[in-house]
Structure 1
């Protein structure tokens, strides 16, 4: 099953491109689901099926068919919240009640910021596991929110592995004393189990989205500020181990006529499109021509996508390999992580590498990834690191007391 995520700076038309790609996929005979993780759901409007909006609301998150082979799903955040967060929220409400917080304010304080996007990812996992689809197209939130969302499973995993077991043991040992002394209820095993369950679901989402059949496609408009954000997004998505398989340049003006104002815009766009091709090489860059009317409706969006991709299959499996690899041979190991454009688009002080115990901490701009080393490498020493041709390479050497090993498989 193919999974394709679309993201880009707000307002560049990513929902239109995602909806068109899904329509083209369905027209080719694939059972296609288009799912939005953007809190501002607009797919029903894009497809011109406004009456489906009410049906989506009543479907409790189940897909609604809008055309042959094409279905839309709108996440029922309340339902997913009750399934994945209610146990944790119940405990938090009891704590806030014990310290005198107003019940209405407590209800607001115990809702996860960005909960709807998180639960949309959990819904993606459920739909992928159903076996009902050949392709799932995801209309993601704007870039910043998407990057934070895709970083969440791994960040939560670090907490689950390192902090939660210690907290659980501590609570068990001190629960009677703390409850009497502070008057605040301590979390039960069911609360910890709920957190672990949520983490397991998010881990499965990460495995799904970083797998060989999933990729991210960036949508941009030919503007300098938008291009700058898209460049850094490619680097950051690679930092977290997600494949980027191409770029769609949207709202490109057709060749200019005698109008000088329009000719100026066309010339400016062409200059930036040249930078786009150079910046994202070797990724394909598709162009979507600015039409004389807004594309609304399944057929109009399918036609737009057909013009964008031409004879190419828009959902062909990604040809790029995983951005992350770790190989080991004898007493040396090499960690490789693709960071395209990191030398050009990030200042030197924005990129850092550190070792903390079993973790390698990689920073690019405001984003940071903690890579927990396999147990076999946890005592190995970092013997060198460099960034070369858009790739971070970290070399490890076995300590003198370690026995030699074979090659990792």
Structure 2
């Protein structure tokens, strides 16, 4: 299944581009599914995809509207049911479904649950188009599965779950009740869901399509997004530039605006370091997916995520160098902390905690440098942990 994740700065009209991309792909004969939280976008696509004379079923993409409120209610009531014995002990009054209002963050969890389900589906579409939140929230959402799985492993490590037969004895010895089995079972189920979503997002045929109206503010937003995506090793697709004005306008004011857009468009291409953005000049491009001539999805990401590689310079400098591509990153935005066998890496508003490769865990950090969009971390082998050469 090819997955195309569509996002952009607020006001760019990326939901309409996602819808138009799904519509175009379906009309090209691909089984396509659009996943969106936007009711207006879903309704507009349903109207645009209404079959005309001679159209067959393949001319219409499937639209799945995310319902974060319903997902939140379902998950909360399930948790409340499982915690019923403890709640009864404290005299708590259970909440009814009609009392529940979704909390901040509910849309992100609803989207991850939908992605996990699609990753396991036997009848998965050929193309999945996902309408993400605007930048930079979209980058944070894409990093969420890995972060949540790390939290689960730390808080409820599966390997430390006591055997059921020993739980009463261990509880008495410890003097405190051990976590119920359902807690570990729930954690294992959630970890499996997050793993499925994480695998889908990291698949080689998954990429992020950035949509933006060229302007100086857009260039800054895309530069930060490019760095955040590289930090989480997410591949870029061909970008889409929208709301472009005609360059040959007789109106001097419009001509000046168009010239500014063209200058910003060149900067966008430089920031993304890929093929030129696909240009959409339709004046109503951000509002009507039916008339938006969106590009068809490419068979593969336009800019695959670069690998983080380890270079061996022990013979010359006595160090190992971990090479981490971070295009667009600035030294002032970088933060590095080693915590045991993990590296906490921050770039502006984005943060990622990654386990050190096995060979680097037996080393000490000797320094770091950022040049040409690549962070190079220098590690010196620790004699106490490194095998001695004979």
Give the TM-score of the pair, scaled to structure 2: 0.81
Q: How does 1:207-356 map to 2 (within 5 A)?
A: 207-291=199-283, 296=288, 298=290, 300-301=291-292, 304-305=293-294, 309=295, 314-327=297-310, 333-343=320-330, 348-356=331-339
Q: How does 1:100-139 map to 2 (within 5 A)?
A: 103-104=94-95, 113-129=104-120, 130-139=122-131
Q: Is the 8 A contact 2:29 2:58 kept in 1?
A: no
Q: Is the 8 A contact 1:157 1:203 kept in 2?
A: yes
1:32 Cα deviation after fit: 1.1
> Which structure: greater helix fraction?
1
Q: Is the 8 A contact 2:73 2:100 kept in 1?
A: no
CA distance in 2, matches of 1:292, 1:165: 52
1:189 aligned partner: 181
358-367 vs 82-91, which moves further: 82-91
Q: Is the 8 A contact 1:84 1:198 kept in 2?
A: no
2:375 aligned partner: 392
Give 3-state SS (helix, strand or coil) of 2:305's partner: coil
Deviations 1:67-121 (A, max 9, x none): 6252111235466557766544445677677667775599978966322332222
1:360 Cα deviation after fit: 0.5
Give the TM-score of the pair, scaled to structure 1: 0.77
1:30 aligned partner: 30
Query: Runs of 5+ in structure 2 lacking a partner?
Result: 51-55
1:360 aligned to which of 343, 346, 355 = 343
1:149 aligns with 2:141: yes
CA distance in 2, matches of 1:360, 1:109: 39
2:132 aligned partner: 140
Give 3-state SS (helix, strand or coil) of 2:193's partner: helix
CA distance in 2, matches of 1:349, 1:94: 52
Give the 3 Å change call, closer, same or farther, for CA 44–370 of structure 1 in structure 2. same
CA RMSD of aligned residues (A): 3.6
Give 3-state SS (helix, strand or coil) of 1:160's partner: helix
1:381 aligns with 2:356: no
CA distance in 2, matches of 1:215, 1:133: 16
1:14 Cα deviation after fit: 0.2
CA distance in 2, matches of 1:50, 1:29: 16
Aligned length: 371
Q: Is the 8 A contact 2:69 2:101 kept in 1?
A: no
Q: How does 1:19-168 map to 2 (within 5 A)?
A: 19-36=19-36, 38=37, 40-49=38-47, 68=59, 70-77=61-68, 80-81=71-72, 86-90=77-81, 103-104=94-95, 113-129=104-120, 130-165=122-157
Deviations 1:310-366 (A, max 9, x none): xxx5322014333342447697654332211113xxxx4321111110111100112
Give 3-state SS (helix, strand or coil) of 1:385's partner: strand
1:202 aligns with 2:189: no
326-335 vs 124-133, which moves further: 326-335
Query: Runs of 5+ in structure 1 lacking a partner?
Result: 53-64, 180-185
Q: Is the 8 A contact 2:22 2:33 kept in 1?
A: yes
1:146 Cα deviation after fit: 1.5
1:403 aligns with 2:390: no
Give the 3 Å change call, closer, same or farther, for CA 87–337 of structure 1 in structure 2. farther
